[in-house]
Amino acid sequence: MTTFKPSVRRKTAGRNHYYVDGNGTRMPGVTTILGNGLPKKALINWAANATADAAVNGWDELAELPVATRLDRLKRARYNDRDAAAKRGTDVHGLAEQLVKGERVTVPEELRGHVEAYVRFLDDWDVELVLVEFVVASYRYGYAGTCDLIADLTMPDGRVVRWLLDIKTTRSGVYGETALQLAAYRYADVYLTADGTEEPLPVVERTGVVHVRADGYSLVPVTAGEQQLTVFRYVQQVARFDEESRGLIGDELTPPHPDGEIARVIYERSGQ
């Protein structure tokens, strides 16, 4: 059991957010833990590709810039690509949340394909909502997060199955670390209701991702059981070590005789 106390709250700071417990102490977020504790080899290639694309596509414009400005533009290229993807994901999530609540939405043309794909998902699987865009917290293990959806879906055999789902809008698809993310959500202690009270998280039968794209969607099952929760906790320990490891390094030592005579080393050639 950790020292975090109920009840959790989500705080917004610009385009980012974070979580605090009942004492105002920051609780690590699930995606932050995964970002700090799990190496992402794919990001290395992504960063290189984003920079190369910016160089090739903006070659003429870059050539006219001073060298320092050109270098700065290329350094920031991958972040521009990331921020654009993040904004698209945020916008699609917001529209999706309104849609699943039955609200009317005005859809920007550039997101039309994504929204139509999400509506198709709702219709194809007779989706019945249980919880939408809700905060979860684990006081046992010390983390919080925001889950996209718990819903009842009608399977091809006619059974109605309760799923915990994450909505992804990335072009690159679904990565394995999503299993750890969903496991952390699934085994959280509580979720935060609309009125700010905490309730036990509903039990789900399956977990997965709704991969929403401009050209359609995929419902992708993801294994996120107790074994994946255990792995998530290992990653959590690595993230904590990474954050605190500087404190393990002490100050440099001063020798006991700093002003003593300097030792001399005499080198002799062999045979002399």
Please, which residues have CB within 8 angstroms of residue 262's CB and are 6 or more apart in sequence? none
| The CATH classification of domain 9-38+102-248, taken from the options 3.90.1150, 3.30.70, 3.90.320, 3.40.50 | 3.90.320
CA 8 to chain centre: 19
pLDDT class for 231, splitting at 50, 70, 90?
Answer: very high
> Is residue 84 over pLDDT 80?
no
> Is residue 272 over pLDDT 60?
no
Q: Record the tokens describing residue 66, joined without a space.
A: 């001073």
Indicate the pTM of the whole model: 0.81
Most confident listed range (88-102, 134-148, 163-177, 248-262): 134-148
Residues 143-202 pLDDT 10s: 999 999 999 999 999 999 999 999 988 877 888 999 999 999 999 999 999 898 999 999
